[in-house]
Structure 1
Amino acid sequence: LLVWSIVPIALAYHVAHYLTALLVDGQYALAALSDPFALGWNLFGTADMQIEAGIVAGAGSAWWLWNVQAGAIILGHVLAVLVAHGFAWRLHPQPACAALSQFPLTLLMIAYTVFGLWLLATPTVG
């Protein structure tokens, strides 16, 4: 039952991983929404918008992206801990049993957090 508490972690990693693609490809989606059938419409005024790939380039953007990604990962882990606590209380009414039942999963979540943040901070070459 506690395995469901890992779902927020998985969602957080997906958000962190695909954030840069969302920021660029989301602009294309906004432009396409204005003219969904390629009939020359401009429903929302975004059909002729310029796509800015530079939104994910540069030192300022890298700092901003890293912090949003790290925040998403941390938020996912905090939500996972809260979900795990809720399930543990439902399974074990005694506080000591509830706390002990979460210990292995808590260690795994801490390891995931440390590994995920280390992975984000690791520079990539190439």
Structure 2
Amino acid sequence: MPELKIIICILISLLLAGCGRISDAPDRRIVTGNVTLNGSPLEGGVIRFLPQPSGPIAAGKIRDGKYEVTNKGGVPLGKHKVEIKGTPILPEDTTGMSLGEIDAATKPAINVPEKYYKDSQLEATVEAGHDPFNVDFELKD
């Protein structure tokens, strides 16, 4: 019977070891920055970081020329292709507004040149660290 107790203890130890925090998810870092178009802050848009050659995409909203990517801990570390596209700009506070009022108050998307989102040549390399990593983008027509 003592052998059975030893075997049970070994099996429990192996099961507990398999429940550790080992993950194949990439290390990430919060990324922040500014986006300007022809010298003016991009009023509204979206920014996407696409790991090269592959990996999970990270994205964030651009509002008044500023962005912050925090979802799932931020952007995976390493080299990225970056895509930036203008989006419609919703009112900051829509409390109590009807859909028609929201639609009327929504500003149209800023026209960002396709070269920044379709076959974008923008790049960023996110390095390891604890503080937010800052990357600014200056777009031109």
Tell me if TM exceeds 0.5: no
Larger radius of gyration: 2
What is the TM-score when the length of structure 2 is the normalising length? 0.25
Greater helix fraction, Structure 1 or Structure 2: 1
Greater strand fraction, Structure 1 or Structure 2: 2
